[in-house]
Amino acid sequence: MKKYISTATKPLLIVAVICGAIFLMGIALILIEVPNIGLSIGLILMGGFLCILFLACYFVEKSRALIIDTDKIVFPRGARINGATVFRKTVVSVSDIKSIESNLFKGDGLVAKDTNLYTLRLTDSKKITVTLYAYGKQAETEIVEEIEAFLI
Protein backbone atom coordinates (compact mmCIF):
# COMPACT_ATOMS: atom_id res chain seq x y z
CA MET A 1 0.00 0.00 0.00
CA LYS A 2 1.32 3.42 -0.96
CA LYS A 3 0.03 6.66 0.50
CA TYR A 4 0.62 10.01 -1.18
CA ILE A 5 0.08 13.24 0.72
CA SER A 6 0.03 16.80 -0.56
CA THR A 7 3.31 18.68 -0.77
CA ALA A 8 1.69 21.49 1.27
CA THR A 9 1.32 19.38 4.42
CA LYS A 10 4.86 19.79 5.74
CA PRO A 11 5.05 23.60 5.23
CA LEU A 12 1.65 24.00 6.91
CA LEU A 13 2.87 22.09 9.95
CA ILE A 14 6.08 24.14 10.11
CA VAL A 15 4.15 27.43 10.00
CA ALA A 16 1.73 26.14 12.66
CA VAL A 17 4.67 25.27 14.95
CA ILE A 18 6.19 28.74 14.41
CA CYS A 19 2.86 30.37 15.26
CA GLY A 20 2.62 28.17 18.37
CA ALA A 21 6.09 29.38 19.40
CA ILE A 22 4.94 33.00 18.95
CA PHE A 23 1.92 32.24 21.14
CA LEU A 24 4.17 30.78 23.84
CA MET A 25 6.52 33.77 23.54
CA GLY A 26 3.58 36.08 24.27
CA ILE A 27 2.72 34.05 27.38
CA ALA A 28 6.36 34.13 28.48
CA LEU A 29 6.46 37.92 28.11
CA ILE A 30 3.43 38.24 30.37
CA LEU A 31 4.96 35.89 32.96
CA ILE A 32 8.21 37.87 33.14
CA GLU A 33 6.15 41.07 33.40
CA VAL A 34 7.42 43.00 30.39
CA PRO A 35 6.09 46.60 30.66
CA ASN A 36 4.74 46.58 27.06
CA ILE A 37 1.59 44.51 27.70
CA GLY A 38 0.19 45.34 24.26
CA LEU A 39 3.01 43.42 22.60
CA SER A 40 2.37 40.38 24.77
CA ILE A 41 -1.37 40.39 24.10
CA GLY A 42 -0.77 40.91 20.37
CA LEU A 43 1.63 37.95 20.23
CA ILE A 44 -0.82 35.75 22.13
CA LEU A 45 -3.78 36.69 19.92
CA MET A 46 -1.98 36.49 16.59
CA GLY A 47 0.07 33.41 17.46
CA GLY A 48 -2.90 31.55 18.90
CA PHE A 49 -5.26 32.42 16.06
CA LEU A 50 -2.77 31.63 13.31
CA CYS A 51 -1.64 28.42 15.02
CA ILE A 52 -5.23 27.15 15.12
CA LEU A 53 -5.80 28.22 11.51
CA PHE A 54 -2.66 26.55 10.14
CA LEU A 55 -3.19 23.40 12.23
CA ALA A 56 -6.70 23.10 10.81
CA CYS A 57 -5.32 23.52 7.27
CA TYR A 58 -2.65 20.90 8.04
CA PHE A 59 -5.23 18.33 9.14
CA VAL A 60 -7.41 19.06 6.12
CA GLU A 61 -4.48 18.56 3.74
CA LYS A 62 -3.37 15.43 5.59
CA SER A 63 -6.85 13.93 5.18
CA ARG A 64 -6.60 14.40 1.39
CA ALA A 65 -4.25 11.46 0.98
CA LEU A 66 -4.36 9.30 -2.13
CA ILE A 67 -3.97 5.60 -1.31
CA ILE A 68 -3.00 2.95 -3.83
CA ASP A 69 -3.48 -0.59 -2.60
CA THR A 70 -3.10 -3.89 -4.44
CA ASP A 71 -6.82 -4.14 -5.17
CA LYS A 72 -8.18 -0.58 -4.89
CA ILE A 73 -7.33 3.09 -5.26
CA VAL A 74 -8.77 5.66 -2.84
CA PHE A 75 -8.97 9.16 -4.31
CA PRO A 76 -9.49 12.13 -1.97
CA ARG A 77 -12.61 14.27 -2.06
CA GLY A 78 -13.00 16.47 -5.09
CA ALA A 79 -12.90 13.82 -7.80
CA ARG A 80 -15.36 14.26 -10.66
CA ILE A 81 -17.53 11.27 -11.51
CA ASN A 82 -19.22 11.68 -14.90
CA GLY A 83 -18.74 15.45 -14.64
CA ALA A 84 -20.19 15.89 -11.13
CA THR A 85 -17.83 16.79 -8.29
CA VAL A 86 -18.01 14.36 -5.37
CA PHE A 87 -17.27 15.67 -1.87
CA ARG A 88 -16.34 12.31 -0.38
CA LYS A 89 -13.51 9.88 -0.94
CA THR A 90 -13.83 7.84 -4.12
CA VAL A 91 -12.84 4.18 -3.98
CA VAL A 92 -12.08 2.50 -7.30
CA SER A 93 -11.40 -1.20 -7.65
CA VAL A 94 -8.29 -1.84 -9.73
CA SER A 95 -10.09 -4.53 -11.72
CA ASP A 96 -12.73 -1.99 -12.80
CA ILE A 97 -10.26 0.37 -14.51
CA LYS A 98 -10.40 0.02 -18.28
CA SER A 99 -8.10 2.89 -19.30
CA ILE A 100 -6.50 6.14 -18.15
CA GLU A 101 -6.26 9.32 -20.22
CA SER A 102 -4.34 12.52 -19.64
CA ASN A 103 -5.64 15.91 -20.81
CA LEU A 104 -3.66 19.12 -20.44
CA PHE A 105 -5.66 21.95 -18.89
CA LYS A 106 -4.16 25.31 -19.85
CA GLY A 107 -4.09 27.75 -16.97
CA ASP A 108 -4.11 31.51 -17.27
CA GLY A 109 -0.59 31.84 -15.88
CA LEU A 110 -1.62 34.20 -13.08
CA VAL A 111 -3.99 32.26 -10.87
CA ALA A 112 -3.86 28.77 -12.38
CA LYS A 113 -0.92 27.00 -13.95
CA ASP A 114 -1.06 24.33 -16.62
CA THR A 115 -2.08 20.99 -15.13
CA ASN A 116 -2.99 17.53 -16.29
CA LEU A 117 -6.46 16.14 -15.72
CA TYR A 118 -6.46 12.36 -15.53
CA THR A 119 -9.61 10.50 -16.55
CA LEU A 120 -10.09 6.90 -15.54
CA ARG A 121 -12.60 5.01 -17.64
CA LEU A 122 -14.22 2.18 -15.75
CA THR A 123 -15.82 -1.01 -17.03
CA ASP A 124 -19.31 0.22 -16.02
CA SER A 125 -18.86 3.26 -18.36
CA LYS A 126 -18.19 5.70 -15.51
CA LYS A 127 -15.52 8.37 -15.98
CA ILE A 128 -13.58 9.57 -12.94
CA THR A 129 -11.51 12.73 -13.44
CA VAL A 130 -8.85 13.72 -10.91
CA THR A 131 -5.95 16.13 -10.66
CA LEU A 132 -2.72 15.00 -9.09
CA TYR A 133 -0.73 18.26 -9.07
CA ALA A 134 -0.97 18.64 -5.29
CA TYR A 135 1.29 15.62 -4.75
CA GLY A 136 4.21 17.01 -6.78
CA LYS A 137 5.50 16.23 -10.27
CA GLN A 138 7.50 13.16 -9.24
CA ALA A 139 4.62 11.63 -7.27
CA GLU A 140 2.21 12.49 -10.11
CA THR A 141 4.20 10.48 -12.64
CA GLU A 142 4.68 7.67 -10.12
CA ILE A 143 0.92 7.48 -9.46
CA VAL A 144 0.10 7.39 -13.17
CA GLU A 145 2.74 4.70 -13.78
CA GLU A 146 1.30 2.57 -10.98
CA ILE A 147 -2.23 2.88 -12.38
CA GLU A 148 -0.98 2.02 -15.85
CA ALA A 149 0.82 -1.00 -14.40
CA PHE A 150 -2.54 -2.32 -13.17
CA LEU A 151 -3.91 -2.11 -16.74
CA ILE A 152 -1.32 -4.48 -18.20
3-state secondary structure the chain: CEEECCCCHHHHHHHHHHHHHHHHHHHHHHHCCCCCHHHHHHHHHHHHHHHHHHHHHHHHHHCCCEEECCCEEEECCCCEECCEECCCCEEEEHHHEEEEEEEEECCCCCCCCCEEEEEEEECCCCEEEEECHHHCHHHHHHHHHHHHHHHC
Q: What is the pLDDT of residues 103-132, one digit of tens each?
A: 988 877 788 778 889 999 999 989 999 999
Return d(Cα 120, Cα 116) in angstroms, integer: 13
Q: Tell me the pLDDT band of 53, cut-offs 50, 70 and 90.
A: very high
What strands, in cross-sheet order, belong to the sheet with 97-105?
A: 84-85, 80-81, 127-131, 115-122, 97-105
Q: What is the pLDDT of residues 54-109, one digit of tens each?
A: 999 999 999 889 999 989 999 998 899 998 999 899 999 998 999 999 998 887 77
Greatest Cα pair distance, the chain, in angstroms, is 71
Return d(Cα 84, Cα 112) in angstroms, integer: 21
